[in-house]
Amino acid sequence: MGPLKITQTSTMTMKTMADSPGETRSRNTGFLELTPRSAYYILAGFLALLLIAFSALDYVAPSGRHLSTIAGVDKANYFNTTHSLLFDHDFNLTNEYTRIRPEDPQWTGIRPETGLPGSPWGIGYSILEIPFLAVGTMVDAAAGNPADGYAQFARFFYAIGNVFFGGFGLMALFTLLHRASTSWGVESGKAVRYSLFITFAIFFGSNVGYYTFSQIAHAATFWFSCMFVAHWWNIRFTNTLRSWFVLGLLGGFLSICRWQDVVYIGGPFLFDLAGKEWLKNPIPWLRARSLYCVGVLLCWIPQMIQWKVIYGKYLTIPQGGGIFYFPPAFMLHVLLSSRNGWFVWTPLILVGVTGVAFALRKHAREFFPWIVVAVLELAVIGSMNVWHGMDSFSARYMLSATPLVALGLAALLCESPKLVARSVVALAIPCCIFALLFAAQFRLDLIPKNETLTAKEIFGDKLHLLQVRRQKQTAVRATNLIQEGKATDAIQMLERVETMGEDRDVLRALTDAYKASGRTADAEDAEARLKRLLDKRL
């Protein structure tokens, strides 16, 4: 029988996740119904579509950049670490940095302790990418390309690793949401529909979709954070040794993908402390939680070895102590700034956070640990001088807290009145469209990536993307003409597109063109208009 079932009889039994608590039976209403299995088929098909989309976009190279290009700072270091582990079996990135050098040498320079280049990023993501780089290298060898890990297919297969991680994360998120929904008493068919809707809403309405197509660690942390919370939800009232050891492995690996996620490790203990079950059977509880800690520590062994080899210490802050400032002064910036603010760039997150507050009435014990975890992550990020993530789409450092947001959305759909639930669905759709248009602006360089934005750039420009793209391209061409000594031609081009609306790049280029042509008064006027525009930044 195929994954989608059209029921004909009056009742039928649908099996939910075999190990899900709160398993319920679904009553047939004669409509097209989804089962958990068919939902996984849908998500697997969506993963296939993502792979096709990635391949197409990589070929088209929007804004002149292939998606599989390895450049910048973070991307270069993650790739180089994977390459060194696969080919050299060590942590010395000296030869890798001769081929792909990170653009900012601040954290990757030679360490005086060991004489090796620095590598201040979590090692977990690089470990996950090893099989993909290996497969790509084998394809290069078969195609007659150099089998050195740098050729065309090696880079491409490395890049699509993130697409798999994002797709696996969606499946893990669906598992979490379905388990939570059924444990709240929602019948399985409805729980499947709600969970699948929220899963897709999270992909399109948060920054999960964007970082599924970007070669840094966030798709991996999304995957592991969803697996961690989903597995915990299933075993939270048990003391099964194997299950808690697996949970430790999931939490440990999550925390070596991005170290700030180490706060996840404490979540299960917060839940236990809020109840009394562990007091009734302290020995089984202690054994299970001890194995949980062992699983975490096992995952940290490769990270500590890398630090010892490069920095001369098993425990260290590779970026140096100057990266943190206490008390955390930037927590509200992370949420509300027009420069990558989590709520501003992806407003679906705010809807989910509202759902978290709503869920506290009935499910305070389940939600409380992850609220604490999310607040601690926010405090860590808010204490950093790079809280914005630099070239970042939305608050990428907060992406690991996505499971909590999704649970908040689930609570709104599952336990609020029908009118509220329908309103949430109706609100989620424009939020997803808004985030998708923001992602297009960001990927196509239609907004500055390291500055605060104006209201026009956040809202108005989304309705005129082709027009804004023309203005940006004209500003680039005009700048080239100015450098070639053709300022008059540049002015003519810029004055034509200026009538489409104020744009910071057009005004900058126009100021330079007027200066180059000796039109001082016009240059001063253009510069004044640029200042007034920048003063409107939020």
- Which whole number is the average pLDDT over 285-311? 96
Structure confidence at residue 16 (pLDDT): 34
The answer, yes or no, to whether residue 88 has pLDDT greater than 50, is yes
Residue 471 lies in a domain: yes
Give the Cβ contact number of residue 519 at 10 Å: 16
- Which whole number is the average pLDDT over 438-458? 91
Q: Given pLDDT bands bounded at 50, 70 and 90, which one contains residue 381?
A: very high
Cα 278 from chain centre: 35
Among residues 336, 340, 356, 458, which one has the least CA distance to residue 402? 356
Structure confidence at residue 497 (pLDDT): 86
CA distance 481 to 477: 6
Beta-strand runs (E) in 172-243 = none
Where do we find the tokens 């993502």? 50
Structure confidence at residue 201 (pLDDT): 97
Residue 500 lies in a domain: yes
**Do residues 215 and 79 lie in contact, with contact meaning Cβ atoms separated by under 8 Å?**
yes
Q: Given pLDDT bands bounded at 50, 70 and 90, which one contains residue 67?
A: confident
The enclosing H or E element of 6 equals strand 4-6
Structure confidence at residue 10 (pLDDT): 34
pLDDT one-digit tens code per residue, 180-203 = 999 999 998 899 999 999 999 999
Residue 179 lies in a domain: no
Total domains present in the chain: 1
pLDDT above 90: percentage of residues in the chain? 66
The answer, yes or no, to whether residue 535 has pLDDT greater than 80, is yes
Query: How many CA atoms lie within 13 Å of 233's alpha carbon, on the beta-carbon side?
Result: 31
Of 5-19, 36-50, 236-250, 277-291, give the lowest mean pLDDT range. Answer: 5-19
CA distance 293 to 451: 42
Query: In the chain, what is the straight-line distance between the N-terminal and C-terminal CA atoms, in Å?
Result: 55
Cβ neighbours for 65, distance < 8 A, ≥ 6 positions apart: none
In terms of residue numbers, what domain contains 474? 455-534
The answer, yes or no, to whether residue 21 has pLDDT greater than 50, is no
Residue 493 lies in a domain: yes
Q: Can you name the residues that pair with 34 across neighbouring β-strands?
A: 4
The answer, yes or no, to whether residue 12 has pLDDT greater than 90, is no
Cβ neighbours for 462, distance < 8 A, ≥ 6 positions apart: 434, 437, 438, 441
Q: Given pLDDT bands bounded at 50, 70 and 90, which one contains residue 32?
A: low
The answer, yes or no, to whether residue 22 has pLDDT greater than 60, is no
CA distance 141 to 8: 54
The answer, yes or no, to whether residue 116 has pLDDT greater than 70, is yes
Mean of the per-residue pLDDT values of the chain: 89
CA distance 269 to 289: 9
Structure confidence at residue 340 (pLDDT): 92
Residue 509 lies in a domain: yes
The answer, yes or no, to whether residue 244 has pLDDT greater than 50, is yes
Among residues 130, 129, 124, 80, which one has the least CA distance to residue 103? 80
Residue 389 lies in a domain: no
Give the Cβ contact number of residue 282 at 10 Å: 10
pLDDT one-digit tens code per residue, 117-139 = 999 899 999 999 999 999 999 99
Q: Given pLDDT bands bounded at 50, 70 and 90, which one contains residue 277?
A: confident
Structure confidence at residue 7 (pLDDT): 35
Where do we find the tokens 């696996």? 168
Among residues 398, 419, 423, which one has the least CA distance to residue 346? 398
Among residues 413, 407, 426, 431, which one has the least CA distance to residue 352? 407
Q: What share of the chain is helix, strand, coil (3-state, %, to 5)?
A: 70, 0, 30
Q: Given pLDDT bands bounded at 50, 70 and 90, which one contains residue 11?
A: very low
Kindly report the CATH number assigned to the domain that includes residue 476.
Answer: 1.25.40
Residue 479 lies in a domain: yes
Where do we find the tokens 């989620």? 428
Please state the three-class secondary structure of 235-288 as a single string. HCCCCCHHHHHHHHHHHHHHHHHCHHHHHHHHHHHHHHHCCCHHHHCHHHHHHH
The answer, yes or no, to whether residue 498 has pLDDT greater than 70, is yes
Structure confidence at residue 5 (pLDDT): 36
Q: Which amino acid is at 327?
A: P
| Sign of the C-alpha dihedral computed for residues 475, 478, 482 and 483 taken in this order | positive
| Sign of the C-alpha dihedral computed for residues 119, 125, 131 and 133 taken in this order | negative
| C-alpha to C-alpha distances, 150 to 99, 121, 125, 138, 145, nearest whole angstrom | 8, 21, 18, 12, 10
Q: Which amino acid is at 351?
A: V
Where do we find the tokens 């939910």? 16
Among residues 291, 300, 306, which one has the least CA distance to residue 256? 300
Q: Given pLDDT bands bounded at 50, 70 and 90, which one contains residue 4?
A: very low
The answer, yes or no, to whether residue 173 has pLDDT greater than 90, is yes
CA distance 348 to 432: 7
The answer, yes or no, to whether residue 3 has pLDDT greater than 50, is no
Question: Helices 402-415 and 348-382: crossing angle, nearest 10°?
Answer: 150
pLDDT one-digit tens code per residue, 92-110 = 999 999 998 887 777 888 9
Please enumerate, as own/partner, the contacts of 197-201 that have beta carbons within 8 Å and a separation of 24 or more.
197/413, 197/425, 197/428, 198/173, 198/406, 198/409, 198/410, 198/413, 199/43, 199/170, 199/173, 199/174, 199/406, 200/46, 200/170, 201/348, 201/409, 201/428, 201/431, 201/432
